[in-house]
Amino acid sequence: MALSARWKSLPGHLLPDREIHVVVSILSGRHKAQEYYEGSIKPLLDQHEIQYFTHQTKSARTIIELTEKLFIPNARRGVKQTIILLSGDGGIVDIVNTFTTVLDRSNDDMRSPSIFLKPAIILIPMGTANALAWSSGVAQDAIKSMMEGRPKSLPSFKVTLSPGARLLVNEGQDREALGDSEEDESITYGAVVCSWGLHASLVAMSDTTEYRKHGVERFKMAAEQLLTEAHVYKGKVKWRKQNSDWTEVAGTEHAYILATMVSRLEEYFQISPASKPVDGTLKLVLIGAEPASEIMRILGLAYQAGQHVADPKVVYEDIEGLRIDLDEDDDQWRQVCVDGKIIAVPQGGWMEVTRIPGTGMDARRVVELVC
């Protein structure tokens, strides 16, 4: 059947041969997603006579449940699907993590079944920092990306933690088991950033209703408060490049340790200037124990086109893996961040981050990002 004139101008990911789902994360960022959906997304879809299903989040688990019950079964049946996601980084990470966890759990062969069709995700940034959206070029004009962008495979990483690691929920008041927990380890996945130290602590501290009122400023506010405490993070850190041995970081005192697949953590905070959109590289940014004023100076350079990476006090490397053995007594300083989610590591515990390759037996690309 010939496409109507209205559809001829549409990109492939919005054509009528696809099942299109709009997911509205009503509590992301400053709670503007529903308003933006009604004012911009819905009228545009209706104007082009696009058929779609709308889902509003009811809880922090809504996107996970949609992925388990709808998006994964569709992908396995070979259904072409597009997910228009109005959320922050957490929404897309829920989809990536759930897809990867379920597929790894259900296949002895780590590769996807041949019929598996990756969904295309159109990200409409509604979070506080929107690291993935700014880094991929989506946030500059989300509607233009939706109408003119092309789907590209989204890289990801695997995080393995010592047994007993727990996900903090409900503003840190409650704890849940991670996606896949076994006797000897817990596993989760991410596509943006994994950190321990100042970055993880400030994300944890600022993840409250009160802090969120301040938008992206909440991170600076939390950082300033943390730096007045002048805590030095203790643990053994080592990293490795492709096909090489581990390199151990000298000393056991640190301030800021972060592995990232994106260039920006927020619009102007360019944490990894060498990273290109969805290029699949994993970069290490590490600052050792320094006075608070020096840490603020170095991180301030990240707002100046990522000049911090040229500072001699910063380790900036292209890595395959990162391992941290934490040596902290207080639970507060044993919290790690995976794409904005906070995980408490038990005393004497460890965390290991591994880049998932784009090709080969260990490859895993479960979604495409329209950008």
Instruction: Give the model's confidence band at 105: pLDDT under 50 very low, under 70 low, under 90 confident, else very high.
Output: low
Residues 74-81: what's their mean pLDDT?
Answer: 95
pLDDT digits (tens, 9 = 90+) for 208-219: 666 667 676 777
Give the pLDDT mean for 96-106: 85
Q: Is the pLDDT of residue 160 over 80?
A: yes
- The helix/strand/coil state of 84 is strand
**DSSP tag of 71:** I
pLDDT at 256 over 50: yes
How many of the other CB atoms lie within 10 Å of CB of 243?
6
Whole-number Å distance between alpha carbons of 250 and 181: 31
Res 268 pLDDT > 70: yes
AA letter at 321? G
CATH classification of 5-155+363-370, choosing from 3.30.1490.20, 3.20.20.80, 3.30.1490.440, 3.40.50.10330?
3.40.50.10330
pLDDT at 168 over 90: no
pLDDT of residue 278: 94
Segment among 75-89, 96-110, 289-303, 318-332 with least mean pLDDT? 96-110
Q: What is the residue-averaged pLDDT of the chain? A: 89
Q: What is the pLDDT of residues 354-366, one digit of tens each?
A: 999 987 767 778 9
What is the helix, strand, coil percentage profile of the chain, to 5?
30, 30, 40
Residue 1: per-residue pLDDT: 40
- What pLDDT is attached to residue 219? 72
Q: Label residue 258 by pLDDT band (50, 70, 90).
A: very high
Give residue-wise pLDDT tens across range 282-322.
999 999 999 888 988 999 999 999 999 999 999 999 999 99
- State residue 2's pLDDT score: 46
pLDDT at 254: 96
State the DSSP string of 323-371: EEEE--SSGGGGEEEETTEEEEPPTT-EEEEEEPPSSSTT-----EEE-
| The residue type at 26 | I
157-355 to CATH, choices 2.60.200.40, 2.60.40.10, 1.20.1050.10, 3.90.1170.40 = 2.60.200.40
Helices (H), 156-252: 198-205, 209-212, 217-229
In the chain, list all ranges with CATH 2.60.200.40: 157-355
How high is the pLDDT of residue 182?
62
Measured CA to CA, the distance from residue 338 to residue 341 in angstroms comes to: 5
Is a pLDDT exceeding 70 seen at residue 3? no
* Residue among 51, 56, 17 nearest 34 (CA): 56
Q: For the chain, what percent of residues have pLDDT higher than 90?
A: 70
Tell me the pLDDT tens digit for each residue of 107-154: 554 454 557 899 999 999 998 889 999 999 999 999 999 999 999 999
- Strand, coil or helix: 98: helix
**Mean pLDDT comparison of 164-178, 179-193, 208-222, 248-262, highest-scoring range:** 248-262
* Residue located via tokens 């989760």: 188
Greater model confidence, 310 or 104: 310
Which residues in the chain are classed under CATH 3.40.50.10330? Answer: 5-155+363-370
The whole-number average pLDDT for the span 73-95 is 95
* pLDDT at residue 172, as a whole number: 66
Per DSSP bridges, beta strands 53-56 and 19-24 are parallel
20 vs 120: CA distance, rounded Å = 10
Backbone φ and ψ of 293, nearest 5°: -65, -35
Going by pLDDT thresholds of 50, 70 and 90, the confidence category of residue 171 is: low
Q: What angle do CA 106, 150, 92 make, to 5 degrees?
A: 45
Q: Virtual CA dihedral for 12, 16, 18, 24, nearest 10 degrees?
A: 100
Note the pLDDT of residue 4. Answer: 56
Per the CB < 8 A criterion, the answer to whether 202 and 115 are in contact is: no
> What are 217-251's pLDDT values in tens digits?
777 777 777 777 778 999 999 999 988 999 999 99
Mean pLDDT for the stretch of residues 13-36:
93
